[in-house]
Structure 1
């Protein structure tokens, strides 16, 4: 297995968004070349989101064509460069699979490449939710970051796991 050198690109959380993007693009080029991914890093727009809370990154695409790689500022601030580098690898897999198979999913091809590129299929939570939707029966919890209909009217919904009644707890941190 090829070992990825994230330390060479290490950048401190005190860096600017511009610096983060510059390092992320350089790192992405090395990863794409090292693993033979069909990704033209220069052809993509690269952006940082300061609003995202639930996802560490995303690839925006239109008609199967990858256009933008989005990285989340809060993940970088809270978890540092290593976590962001893992997100870069994750998003490069999406770009590659869009280019090769018009496949933006986290399916079998994605999971296989994720193992090769030492990244996860889903990121761990890096921001505290504002609310928890809790099942009164099984105790299952769903994190919620926005004031949605589920948060405002939990009695209109049932637990997807056991069918139990739901209630909302405000997260006090």
Structure 2
């Protein structure tokens, strides 16, 4: 099971993926907060060409009654771990970073990453 996400591609099309499993796990109130969270990411990308959880995101958290970080509804199958700052980023399916972690870097500090399978 993958967490709800916002994704962009080379055409700059923004796709928000929402999963029925997540809806069932969260319930309507929490799930609607997740939808708002993902819409903020879509707006950020449309406006600035990138998205994160920094100031342009945080300005919308209170007015839209959402959260800066969403609760996980399922346990991750993998963790992407930074070798430098030890930050941990959950993953729910085998993706490109799992196949070649040496090509990816930590979003927090830019350090090298490794993969831990749960």
Query: TM-score w.r.t. structure 2 length?
Result: 0.58
Instruction: Provide Cα deviations, 1:100-140, integer angstroms capped at 9, x if missing partner.
Output: 121211121101112221111211121135689xxxxxxxx
| Greater helix proportion | 1
Unpaired runs of 5+ in structure 1?
1-50, 133-140, 148-167
Unpaired runs of 5+ in structure 2?
80-87, 95-115
Which of the numbers 42, 49, 65 marks the counterpart of 1:102?
49
- Structure with more relative contact order (C-alpha pairs < 8 Å, separation 6 or more): 2
Larger Rg: 1
Query: Equivalents in 2 of 1:103, 1:68: separation in Å?
Result: 14
Equivalent pairs, count:
91
* Partner residue, 1:74: 21
CA distance change for structure 1 residues 110 and 76 in 2, over 3 Å: closer, same or farther?
A: same
CA distance change for structure 1 residues 65 and 127 in 2, over 3 Å: closer, same or farther?
A: same
Query: TM-score w.r.t. structure 1 length?
Result: 0.42
Deviation at 1:142, TM superposition (A): 8.5
* Partner residue, 1:114: 61
Poorly superposed stretches of 4+, deviation over 6 Å? 141-144
CA distance change for structure 1 residues 64 and 142 in 2, over 3 Å: closer, same or farther?
A: closer
Structure 1 counterpart SS, 2:15: strand
RMSD: 3.3
Deviation at 1:85, TM superposition (A): 0.8
Q: Is 1:86–1:118's contact at 8 Å kept on the other side of the alignment?
A: yes
Alignment of 1:140-159 (within 5 A): none
